[in-house]
């Protein structure tokens, strides 16, 4: 399996109760760990992407356990066509979380445990926290608690999505989500929504070209509908009772800044860290953005 020698990981597979095979990855620090980070990636992502981030965490004495969510990375895909990102109900991701917790327990990973979640992982993570995920802190990078207005389906697209579900076409790529292509290979660096760091962009493009089996294209109508429903469900619920860090880039154009600010304002013990000139990929941005965010996250974990 492809990987990054800067942060070698032990990867292994587990099966969820519904039979879906999930890939997990474990990075250990050099000495005895003082705690464990549960890494919840975003949509389209895979374990290898976080190889440059993990050394910052392991250097602080933390073990890191990450996952490829069902339908992406090296975990089982949910459709015969592996390109579209697909899910019918975000509740299915909570089965993946359960297997991650079971694995962490079986590996006897030291507590306290801490959540580090990006984008869609932030949506899954908030739901997991409300379900009792046993972590001491939560750090979110650009959490998907709402879609950015530009990406919100228009009434026409919403109508098409509902019709697609009624006629058995909910597994088709939704109009405007990228189809079967890969954003990193299709979009130019100039004006991209992810990062202003040309070196990180080049790395991600190289990975997408070298490991196409790990990448995803656009989202299906079912995914879009399930994501909107989950964001609406979570918005109506109170915030968890634990300390949190919420990172938001000033140039965010993927998830909803309004939904993030609204949640931060309703979360006692949460710190909203707004980062000038940062886009969606806070941990893969130009310096000093990643270090600013990770330092704050490690301070929270250590506190």
Domain boundaries, the chain: 10-302
Residue 3 CB burial class (10 angstroms; 0-12, 13-18, ≥19): middle
Residue 281 CB neighbour total at 10 angstroms: 26
In the DSSP assignment, the letter for residue 49 is G
Three-state DSSP at 11 gives: strand
**Predicted structure pTM score:** 0.92
The number of residues making up the chain comes to: 303
User: Superfamily for 10-302?
Assistant: Alpha/Beta hydrolase fold, catalytic domain (3.40.50.1820)
CA dist., res. 103 & res. 3, Å (int): 21
CA dist., res. 132 & res. 101, Å (int): 11
CA dist., res. 199 & res. 71, Å (int): 28
pLDDT value of residue 9: 86
pLDDT value of residue 107: 98
Closest-CA residue to 74 (of 256, 169, 211, 245): 211
CA dist., res. 228 & res. 146, Å (int): 7
Token pair belonging to 203: 């790395």
Largest CA-CA distance found in the chain, in angstroms, rounded: 56
pLDDT value of residue 1: 41
pLDDT value of residue 35: 98
Q: How many CA atoms lie within 13 A of 153 on its CB side?
A: 23
Q: What is the pLDDT along the chain (303 residues), one digit of tens a residue?
A: 444 435 578 999 999 999 999 999 999 999 999 999 999 999 999 999 999 999 999 999 999 999 999 999 999 999 999 999 999 999 999 999 999 999 999 999 999 999 999 999 999 999 999 999 999 999 999 999 999 765 444 454 555 555 545 544 567 665 444 456 788 998 999 999 999 999 999 999 999 999 999 999 989 989 989 999 999 999 999 999 999 999 999 999 999 999 999 999 999 999 999 999 999 999 999 999 999 999 999 999 996
pLDDT value of residue 150: 56
211-245 in b/e form (b: 16+ CB < 10 A) is beebbbbbbbbbbbbbbbebbeebeeeebbebbbb
**Rg (Cα) of the chain, in Å, rounded?**
18
Q: Strands of 41-153 (E only): list them.
A: 62-68, 113-118, 137-141
C-alpha distances in Å from residue 49, one per residue of 53, 67, 74, 207, 291: 9, 11, 12, 8, 17
Q: Which residue has the tokens 């030291």?
A: 110
CA dist., res. 76 & res. 254, Å (int): 26
């Amino acid at each position: 399996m492809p990987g990054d020698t800067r942060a070698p990981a032990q990867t292994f597979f587990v099966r969820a109760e519904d039979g879906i095979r999930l890939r997990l990855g474990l990075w250990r620090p050099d000495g005895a760990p003082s705690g464990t980070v549960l890494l919840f990636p975003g949509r389209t992502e895979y374990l290898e992407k976080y190889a440059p981030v993990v050394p910052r965490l392991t250097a602080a004495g933390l073990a890191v356990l990450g996952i490829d969510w069902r339908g992406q990375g090296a975990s089982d895909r949910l459709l015969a066509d592996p390109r579209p990102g697909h899910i019918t109900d975000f509740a299915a991701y909570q089965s993946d979380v359960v297997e991650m917790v079971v694995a962490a327990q079986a590996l006897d990973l030291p507590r306290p445990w801490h959540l580090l979640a990006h984008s869609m992982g932030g949506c899954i993570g908030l739901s997991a926290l409300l379900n009792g995920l046993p972590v001491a802190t939560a750090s979110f990078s650009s959490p998907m608690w709402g879609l950015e207005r530009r990406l919100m389906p228009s009434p026409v697209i919403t109508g098409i999505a509902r019709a697609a579900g009624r006629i058995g076409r909910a597994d088709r790529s939704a109009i405007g989500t990228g189809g079967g292509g890969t954003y990193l290979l299709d979009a130019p660096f100039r004006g991209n929504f992810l990062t202003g760091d040309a070196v990180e962009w080049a790395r991600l493009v190289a990975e997408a070209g070298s490991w196409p089996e790990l990448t995803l294209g656009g989202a299906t109508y079912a995914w879009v509908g399930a994501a909107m429903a989950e964001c609406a469900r979570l918005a109506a619920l109170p915030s968890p009772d634990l300390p949190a860090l919420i990172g938001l880039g000033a140039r965010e154009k993927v998830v909803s800044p309004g939904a993030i600010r609204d949640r931060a304002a309703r979360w006692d013990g949460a710190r909203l860290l707004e980062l000038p000139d940062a886009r969606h990929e806070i941990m893969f941005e130009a310096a000093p953005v990643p270090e600013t965010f990770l330092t704050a996250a490690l301070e929270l974990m250590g506190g």
